[in-house]
Structure 1
Amino acid sequence: MMMVSTQVWITMNVTLCTIITPFLHLLHFCLCILSSKYNVTLFKCNHNLSTKPPSNYVNLGCRASYGYEIYYDRNNTHPDQEAAGVFSGCSVVQFASKDSTNTKDVLSFVSAEMVLEIVLSHDCDDCFNHRGGLCGVDKNNHFYCHKGSSSSTNRLVKKMGLALALAVTATLVLVIITLYYKRWKKQNQTLPLVDAFFERHDHLQIKRYSYSEMKKVTNSFKNKLGQGGFGSVYKGQLQDGRHVAVKILSEFKGDGQEFINEVASMSRTSHVNIVALLGFCFEGSKRALVYELMPNGSLEKLIYNENSVIGDRQLDCQTLYDIAIGVARGLEYLHKGCNTKILHFDIKPHNILLDKKFCPKISDFGLAKVCTRKESIVSIFGARGTAGYIAPEVFSRNFGAVSHKSDVYSYGMMVLEMVGRRKNIKAEVDVSSEIYFPHWIYNRLVSNQELDLQNIRNECDNEMVRKMTIVSLWCIQTNPSTRPSISKVVEMLEGSAELLQLPPKPYWFSPSNSP
């Protein structure tokens, strides 16, 4: 948004100059200076500042989204020598503001309203205001005070006022047109990309719905199941009686690639542990995905719920163990069972859905990467995934190449949360060694202590939890080559706990730096 705001102002500024130009002879005739009374200075910094900025400079925090930081002086003062030193090497953007209000809302600066300041020269001020004359210059550019009637003076003032009023009004109209055009362009740039994809893949075995059909299926979106950053999910029913979950996506982000990823990936899959995509809607800016309905919701709600009884089912170690194996089989299918290899890149409890029999199904393929089965290493731009589950090599190639082992890491982090029935990082505990769960449980295993977890009731439970824990600790090894493949994970989970060896202690995170 910062980029858009700056572009809008530049457009507005150039337009204003263009409109005012025909009237400049009036302003020059008065020997006056026309300028904006209030100005805002922005510093765009692509690097970390070596010195802390003065207290009156606000950081708008754009690094996560755009890779740089934006600072501005909320007091709207002219940058002093100290600020110039701190922001050396940063780009500078200046534009006019409607006032000098101390605000943190940078969008308030983008306005067609502004205060223009006209400063007359001393001679012109004396001529115009004290002697009732008109300021002028002769053919030699020398000033003279022309004696004129008050009526001619009034006419000149009115002309100047009219010129400025026309300029500001035209600018306001152009700003509105510019903003609408940018929004229209952003939405319509995605149309060729998505339409081209569907033309190339007209063989997809899923139905394309209109938006009016989506409203009918969901009974005008009355039964809302959930809300997320992607949009909202509603319960619906198809004409054949099947209950479905309809995910209405928010407005387009980027070029629509996440929407294409979801449809392209899921249309290729058919597995008991992969949620079924039944249809989609793409109509203008309206996008929706139609899935089979998962009555028991997400794994996230299950494992973090203090109530150990879900519906009429007891949440025991056997249930968690079956879910862990089911998710591993789903990942094995994505990595090896499809015609193309699919890397999910966002395995976490929130994206594991449970049917009425608590069978787990992997969902949400918005970040997925489709590649050929021969590719062992994949190329991706930037990091993708959710903090706490992202493999080290995904956000820093210094740790190794990105591959199917990146999904294995996320899977391991997720299963550890299932075992502990808590987030891996838990800041509210009193003992620092217990803050980061993988280290806490690893130390227990090494020292042969009781795991002391709430769901363990007998020796059978203890063996299942021990297997899940050891396999997970292998999955979250820092070096991708040390992690097992997902097929090996299934084999280890289905084998005997006595045959499993403890892995090296994971060193990527530690209790001292995790929070």
Structure 2
Amino acid sequence: MERLICCANTSAFRRDRGCIHVYGSDLELLEQSVICLLPFLRHFSNEDIRKATGGFGRIVSKNSLGSVYKAHFQDGFVATVKEVNAFHQEKDAFFGYVDVLGRLHHRHIVSLRGFSAGPERFLVFEYAENGSLKDYLRDYISREHRNPIFQLGLLILELITGQSPGKEGTDLVQWVQGSNNTHVVHKMIDPDLGNNYDSKELKDLLTLAKLCTKRGAKPTFSIQQILRYLQMKVESLMPVVPHM
């Protein structure tokens, strides 16, 4: 069944099997679709980010892939701002990333509160005290491996198990790559989930995580394809909006 979402002062976006199909090539439409579908996310300009970070002076950490800042916005909102250079040439992938992160709610993941799309790209997370950026903001782009596909697989494993990944994710990766782990899957599930999960969906996610974290093998899929797949999974759980 086709679903239609209409937003004020924007074009229509057709949903087919959970994927967003944007009419036209203008990426501004894709940006508007993310804003419509995730209305709780705030959209900041680069100037908003610059002012909130004291001219990009409140640096929490920095590496070759970007910097992390503490931000104080004019309305009193305090946040952690992550510069995202990995998607510099792939704006569609950036919005896919925002879409997935915006739907994640987990005790081990700091919630995404907003984003800034350009020309420089930033993710705005809720601020966590006590150096929690290091402990909780496990941004798969900024880790040692610096392979977004590997790190997305690791993030999926963290969400499923509720466990920290160990040094460079070795503990969880060794588990999921094990050939005889199917009979102990239920022991690895995050207790917070209880029995509120679909076994088939869980196995599908574990298979995806296993493919993403397989060492030494060149992935046969792109980060965009993975994000699209996860979007489909999320959208399948959303109520259908009847065609008007």
Letter matched to residue 489 of structure 1: I
Deviation at 1:279, TM superposition (A): 1.5
Query: Helix, strand or coil: the match of 2:190?
Result: helix
Q: 2:185 aligns with which of 478, 481, 484?
A: 484
- 1:196 equivalent in alignment to 2:196: no
Letter matched to residue 199 of structure 1: Q
Q: How does the TM-score come out when normalised to structure 1?
A: 0.26
What do residues 8-62 of structure 1 show as CA deviations (whole Å, max 9, x unaligned)?
xxxxxxxxxxxxxxxxxxxxxxxxxxxxxxxxxxxxxxxxxxxxxxxxxxxxxxx
Q: Is the 8 A contact 2:115 2:122 kept in 1?
A: yes
Letter matched to residue 80 of structure 2: A
Deviation at 1:217, TM superposition (A): 0.8
Structure 2 match to 1:288:
122
d(CA) in 2 for partners of 1:265, 1:383? 14
Query: Helix, strand or coil: the match of 1:295?
Result: coil
Percent identical pairs in the alignment equals 23
Structure 1 match to 2:157:
407
d(CA) in 2 for partners of 1:423, 1:192? 38
Q: 1:279 aligns with which of 100, 110, 114?
A: 114
- 1:410–1:257 distance in 2 versus 1, CA, 3 Å: farther
Query: Helix, strand or coil: the match of 2:185?
Result: coil
d(CA) in 2 for partners of 1:207, 1:473? 38
d(CA) in 2 for partners of 1:237, 1:476? 42
Structure 1 match to 2:55:
220
- 1:364 equivalent in alignment to 2:139: yes
d(CA) in 1 for partners of 2:45, 2:180? 47
How many aligned residue pairs are there? 165
Q: Is the 8 A contact 2:58 2:70 kept in 1?
A: yes
Q: Is the 8 A contact 2:59 2:69 kept in 1?
A: yes
Q: Is the 8 A contact 1:278 1:290 kept in 2?
A: yes
- 1:292–1:472 distance in 2 versus 1, CA, 3 Å: same
d(CA) in 2 for partners of 1:409, 1:243? 25
What do residues 253-291 of structure 1 show as CA deviations (whole Å, max 9, x unaligned)?
4422442233101222344433122221123x3111111
Structure 2 match to 1:297:
131
Deviation at 1:233, TM superposition (A): 1.0
d(CA) in 1 for partners of 2:47, 2:173? 46
d(CA) in 2 for partners of 1:223, 1:408? 29
Query: Helix, strand or coil: the match of 1:267?
Result: helix
Deviation at 1:237, TM superposition (A): 0.5
d(CA) in 2 for partners of 1:247, 1:482? 39
Q: Which has the higher contact order (CA 8 A, sep 6+)?
A: 2
Q: CA RMSD in A?
A: 4.5
d(CA) in 2 for partners of 1:412, 1:484? 13
Q: Is the 8 A contact 2:30 2:92 kept in 1?
A: no
Structure 1 match to 2:6:
none
Letter matched to residue 279 of structure 1: G
Structure 1 match to 2:68:
233
Query: Helix, strand or coil: the match of 2:32?
Result: helix
In structure 1, stretches of 5+ residues that fail to align are: 1-190, 299-351, 355-360, 368-381, 392-403, 425-437, 439-470, 495-507, 510-515
d(CA) in 1 for partners of 2:29, 2:83? 22
d(CA) in 2 for partners of 1:252, 1:490? 31
Higher Rg: 1
Listed as ranges, the matches of 1:326-341 within 5 Å are none
d(CA) in 2 for partners of 1:413, 1:270? 15
What do residues 122-147 of structure 1 show as CA deviations (whole Å, max 9, x unaligned)?
xxxxxxxxxxxxxxxxxxxxxxxxxx
Listed as ranges, the matches of 1:29-428 within 5 Å are 192-193=26-27, 195-201=28-34, 202-204=36-38, 205-250=40-85, 252-283=87-118, 285-297=119-131, 353-354=134-135, 361=136, 363-364=138-139, 384-386=149-151, 407=157, 414-417=164-167
d(CA) in 2 for partners of 1:266, 1:228? 21
- 1:229–1:414 distance in 2 versus 1, CA, 3 Å: farther
Letter matched to residue 139 of structure 2: D
d(CA) in 2 for partners of 1:250, 1:269? 21
In structure 2, stretches of 5+ residues that fail to align are: 1-24, 195-213, 216-244
Q: Is the 8 A contact 1:248 1:289 kept in 2?
A: yes
Q: How does the TM-score come out when normalised to structure 2?
A: 0.50
- 1:254–1:295 distance in 2 versus 1, CA, 3 Å: same
Q: Is the 8 A contact 2:108 2:159 kept in 1?
A: no
- 1:271–1:473 distance in 2 versus 1, CA, 3 Å: closer
- 1:257–1:481 distance in 2 versus 1, CA, 3 Å: farther
